[in-house]
Amino acid sequence: MKTGTQKREMKKTDGRKDYQNKEGKSFEKGKSGKKKADMAKRDDAFKGDKNNRKSRPGREEDRQSRVSGVSREDWHSKKPKAGRDDNRESRKLGAEPGNRGSRNSGAEPGNRGSRNSGTESGNRGSRKSGAELGNRENRKSGAASGNRENRKPGTETGNRESRKPGAVSGNRESRKPGAASENKQKRKFGDSGEGRKNSKRGQSGEKKQSDLKKVNGMEICPVSKKCGGCQYQGISYQEQLKLKEKEIRKWIGKFCKVNAVIGMENPYHYRNKVHAVFDRDKRGNPICGVYQAGTHNVVPIESCMIEDQKADEIIQSIRGLLKSFKIRTYDEDTGYGLLRHVLVKRGFTTNEIMVVLVTASPVFPSKNNFVGAIRKLHPEITTIIQNVNARGTSMVLGDKEKTLFGKGYIEDILCGCTFRISSKSFYQVNPVQTEVLYKKAIDAAGLMGNESVIDAYCGIGTIGLIASKKAKQVIGVELNKDAVRDAVTNAKRNEIENVRFYCADAGNFMADMAAQGEKADVVFMDPPRSGSTEEFMDSMVQMGPERVVYVSCNPETLGRDLEYLTKKGYGCKGSWGVDMFAWTGHVETVVLLVRKG
């Protein structure tokens, strides 16, 4: 007679499941009941029910068995086993199948975490050569069949962007042969994945000074094509000077002799003013760099071959502090966010450093702590300023600003004069070549000490104050009120009394002077890239200066203005190019014009 347990026992017959009740009557489960039974079986399997597993000795192609030579009958024998099939934490050699945590060689298939050679098929994490077939991420030569993308002998198969022989497969951040997967070390430029997620020390798509490539023995910036700032990459410096001389001759060669361009002794890291725009990448990480040429897409840059290195370090430190202080970068599309730009100026001679934080709002949470954190990282900073730009324009600086630390300005020494430099005032970015440029301009003027001089577009008064030592009197005119304030301070700072500065449009100012019958012996004019105006030049011609020294940063507009002045009674006596911007297509030019007759 059957016991109650035997009556309830499930039997497998022709693919159908029959059950017997206590009375011995059997019945076939309906369709819905069959589904429920199947689901119950799967639940038992996932839960790892030991009794349920043992109750199915006939399960076809026993999925749990991974040991070769073990028969279905031996599986339930009472003989001691090498290791229980469900011992998931086993760490020893010869661990039974299903051991997900095994780390040693010889681990059976299905060991997802195995890292050593000799692991069986199905080992998804295997990293070394000799791994069995089916290892999807095996990357070295000698890998078993199934390696679909083997490319080169010794390189990792299936590694879509493999850069170095022996680099570990699947290791997106790996740098060294044999490094484990998910190694989040700092990525170096040259590996695939430009623009990937930030590392702790870098930013998405970052390009660094150490990443410079060499073409024909010359260093090439890795982002030159996207940045567009350095148009002469890959061209020797001497060849650059010849190209710039050719450009000058193209526009003004018909007016005067064009002398060779005066080059730099060291054409690297010459910019003492660095501007970085801040944004976020697709993953929300803060990035900083420059606008891509012709767009407002930010190209992440960690260091630049023409920018001051200390300024670059400070900017990267500020970027690194944003997350911890929960400061969001400004989004031009939505108008949300706080930090828009960072501007760093450094005095070449004094080594004083100014940091300007351009924000979209005057409200700056935790600004004192933020400033303190910046100073802790860079104690060499002498002043920090918050500039507020709430306008939705492409202008970098706004009208309002507040000094957060220090005196609010820096000083530098140029041609023996000390100059005060504020956040908004114009100051040449290459101090070494600026001295060369200004000395050439003042020498061309031929000052004897009794001349009345006008310094038009004077900025902070650099040319006028330097020339004042050789002139009777100097009048400077500048539209930027902050620059004029600095110019007045600079005159007092250098104890120069024969200079006066006016805040006005240069064209209107010259027209007023001409109307009043004022005269000038020498005029220095240093207009913006757009060149001068007819109003200014007409008024200047009426004042009748003997000599005009034109300092230009754009040969094309210089040629246009020379065309006008030569028709008004002036002749060009010579031109001198000065390279202020190595690796770019820009060049400064000094031209001497003398009144005819």
Q: Indicate if 450 and 564 belong to the same structural domain.
A: yes
Tens digit of pLDDT for each residue in 64-100?
444 444 444 444 444 444 444 444 443 433 334 444 4
For residues 144 and 510, give the distance between their C-alpha atoms in angstroms, rounded to a whole number: 84
Mean pLDDT of the chain: 76
Give per-residue pLDDT as tens, 407-419: 999 999 999 999 9
Q: Which among 118, 142, 166 is the end of a domain? A: 142
Q: Which residues are catalytic?
A: 553
Q: Is the pTM of this model over 0.85?
A: no
- DSSP-assigned states of every residue in 545-575: -SEEEEEES-HHHHHHHHHHHHTTTEEEEEE
Residues 441 and 305 in one domain: no
Cβ proximity of 204 and 285 under 8 Å = yes
Any binding-site annotation on 428? yes
Residue 72: per-residue pLDDT: 47
Same domain, residue pair 573 and 437: yes
Confirm whether residue 526 is marked as ligand binding.
Answer: yes
The reply to whether 270 sits in an annotated binding site is no
In this structure, are 454 and 509 located in the same domain? yes
* 245 annotated binding-site participant: no
* Per-residue pLDDT band at 227 (split at 50, 70, 90): confident
In a shared domain, residues 403 and 467: no
437 and 403 share one domain: no
Q: Are residues 283 and 333 in the same domain?
A: yes
The least confident of 202-206, 285-289, 455-459 is: 202-206
Q: Has residue 564 been placed in a domain?
A: yes
User: Are residues 361 and 451 both part of a single domain?
Assistant: no
Average pLDDT estimate for 168-189: 40
Q: What percent of the chain has pLDDT over 70?
A: 63
Is 244 within 8 Å of 261 (Cβ atoms)? yes
Instruction: Give the domain range for residue 484.
Output: 430-595
CA dist 223 and 287 (Å) reads 15
The reported pLDDT for the residue numbered 213 is 53
Q: CA dihedral defined by 571, 573, 578, 581, rounded to 10 degrees?
A: 20
Instruction: Convert 523-553 to b/e letters by CB count within 10 Å (16 or more is b).
Output: bbbbbeeebbbeebbebbbbbebebbbbbbb
CATH of the domain at 539: 3.40.50.150
Edge-to-edge strand list for the sheet holding 16-20? 11-13, 16-20, 26-28
Examine residue 53 and state whether it is found in any structural domain, yes or no: no
CB of 305 within 8 A of CB of 583?
yes
Whether 227 and 299 have beta carbons less than 8 Å apart is answered as yes
Structural domain contains residue 71: no
**CB-based contacts of 160, cutoff 8 Å, min separation 6:** 149, 192
